[in-house]
Amino acid sequence: MKAIYLDRDGVLNQSIVRQGQPFPPQTVNEVAILEGVREGLIKLKKLGFLLIVITNQPDIAREKTTIEEVEKINNSLKEKLPIDDILFCPHDDKDNCDCRKPKPGLIFSAQKKWNIDLTNSFLVGDRWKDIEAGINAGIKTILIDYGYDEKYVEPNYSCHTFGEVTHVIETEFSNNINKKL
Ligand SMILES: [Mg+2]
Ligand SMILES: [Zn+2]
């Protein structure tokens, strides 16, 4: 199976930006799905992609939120969007886990679980840690660039909206089909 690996905050739902830095919604009520996401995901699903969300949620380790609250938000996204699975890392840097992006652990866990072919898959993220995780796993990367005040890692494609992301993947997909014909 080929897959689109999607970051959560800033890709599916709005991040709350303070002083140039994005933060996740704290409760289900704060979740606002971004424009073009639902339509885009429906199109990508029709092209045969699995839709897998991989997200860092270090506020769990920082005791600013709980696993239950994060799962409530994840479940509400699953209800509204055609997502196949959501994997999250609850750790912070000091835990030195294998799953916190830019490490590729979440990508490989989902690969094993869903038998994903990474060569035909994409990663979509809004921060350098997402892009670097994709690079570390050897998959094509797409950045939704909000110009955050943080480190920049060069993706394969740079976009500004989910509509553009969908278009990039559709174009790559039809180019690949043409190559095989
Ligand atoms: Mg994000
Ligand atoms: Zn982790």
Instruction: Specify whether 130 is catalytic.
Output: no
pLDDT at 112: 98
Give the residue extent of every domain in the chain. 2-180
| pLDDT, mean of residues 16-40 | 95
| Ligand that comes closest to the CA of residue 58 | 2
Residue 115: pLDDT band by 50, 70, 90 thresholds?
A: very high
Q: What would the mean pLDDT of 143-165 be, rounded to a whole number? A: 97
Is residue 92 annotated as a catalytic residue, yes or no?
no
Ligand 2 center from residue 46 Cα (angstroms): 31
Residue 181 has pLDDT above 70, yes or no: no
The CATH code belonging to domain 2-180 is: 3.40.50.1000
pLDDT at residue 25 is higher than 70:
yes
Confidence of residue 166 (pLDDT cuts 50, 70, 90): very high
Q: Please, which pLDDT band fits residue 126 given cuts at 50, 70 and 90?
A: very high
Task: Assign 62 to helix, strand or coil.
Answer: coil
Closest ligand to Cα 11: 1
Mean pLDDT of 43-51: 98
What average pLDDT does the structure give for the chain? Answer: 96
Burial 58-97 (b: 16+ CB within 10 A, else e): bbbbeeebeeebbeebbeebeeebebbbbbbbbbbeeeee
First to last CA, the chain: 20
CA of 111 from ligand 1 middle (Å) equals 20
Of the pLDDT bands very low, low, confident and very high (cuts 50, 70, 90), residue 43 is: very high
Distance 163 CA to ligand 1 centre (A): 17
| Best CA proximity match to 154, nearest among 141, 171, 172, 139 | 141
pLDDT at 178: 76
Instruction: Determine the distance separating the centroid of ligand 2 and the alpha carbon of 88, expressed in angstroms.
Output: 8
